[in-house]
Every structure is written in C-alpha cells, then in structure tokens.
Structure 1
Amino acid sequence: MAVSCASLRVVAFLGLIYAALTSVASSQSPVPAPAPTSDGTTLDQAIACVLMLLALVLTYIIH
C-alpha cells in the first residue's frame, strides 16, 4: 500500500504544528532566585580559617 506524497506532507506539517504548540504550551517563565541572605556562616568560616592558620604558624614556630 503506497502512501501518497501529499498525505506524507500533511502528516509532516501537522507534526511540526503539534511540536510547536507543545513547546509553547510547556514553556514557563523561570522563577527568580531568592535574594541571598547572610546568616553569619561565612564570617564563622573565615574566623575558623584564620584560627587554623594561626595554630599552624604557632606549631611551626614552636617546633
């Protein structure tokens, strides 16, 4: 059973329309990211890092 060229074009055209409509329907605007908040963990980590470096230097000097 041979498929005519016209019916193949119609099916391809309908497939492209379907693909375009589904991509438009499924697209959503992205939700903006929440504003960054500082809860003090960065400051705590910086202080811990300085104390570790101080301990390393003192250990090096003592030995």
Structure 2
Amino acid sequence: MAISKVSFAVAATFALVFAIVLPAVHGHSMPPAPAPAPASDGTTIDQGIACVLMLLALVLTYIIHTLDLPFNF
C-alpha cells in the first residue's frame, strides 16, 4: 500500500513539473504573423465563366445531335 502512495506522489510531481516546464520550452517571443488577405485577381470568375460556357456547349451539342437523327416512319 505504501508503494502505491509513493508512486502516485512521484507521478503527480513528475506531471506537475512537466506541466510547468513544457509550456516555457515552446515560448514564442512574438505572436504569429497574421494570415495574408485573400487575393482575388479575377481568375476564379474567369474559370466560372469558362465552366458555364463549356456546359452550354455540351448541352447545345447534345441537343443538336439528338435533333440530327433521321426519322424513319
């Protein structure tokens, strides 16, 4: 029984020392630099317009090819 009390006291002391010492090891002298502002140079808008135009071309191609079928009555 005495061994478990001693081992608990040693473990608690060990944990307390690490809780105090470890944050000081990672100490930062300056706060981290802020993230840069998002830069929008219009490429996202251009890619969106291109995607819509490609989708429109795909739909028009599908419509034209379905109407191009010969009617056999």
RMSD: 2.9
- The answer for the alignment partner of 2:17 in structure 1 is 17
CA shift at 1:24, angstroms?
Answer: 4.5
- The answer for the alignment partner of 1:48 in structure 2 is 50
TM-score (norm 2): 0.55
Distance (whole Å) between structure 2 residues aligned to residue 45 and residue 27 of structure 1:
44
Distance (whole Å) between structure 2 residues aligned to residue 10 and residue 58 of structure 1:
78
Instruction: Structure 1: give runs of 5+ residues left out of the alignment.
Output: none
CA shift at 1:42, angstroms?
Answer: 0.4
Instruction: Structure 2: give runs of 5+ residues left out of the alignment.
Output: 66-73
Please identify the structure whose Cα radius of gyration is greater: 2
Distance (whole Å) between structure 2 residues aligned to residue 61 and residue 8 of structure 1:
78
Q: Report how many aligned residue pairs link the two structures.
A: 60
- The 3 A distance-change label for structure 1 pair 11 and 46 is closer
TM-score (norm 1): 0.61
Identical counterparts, % of pairs: 58
Deviations 1:2-55 (A, max 9, x none): x682x8625631442223320344265554321101022201211111111110
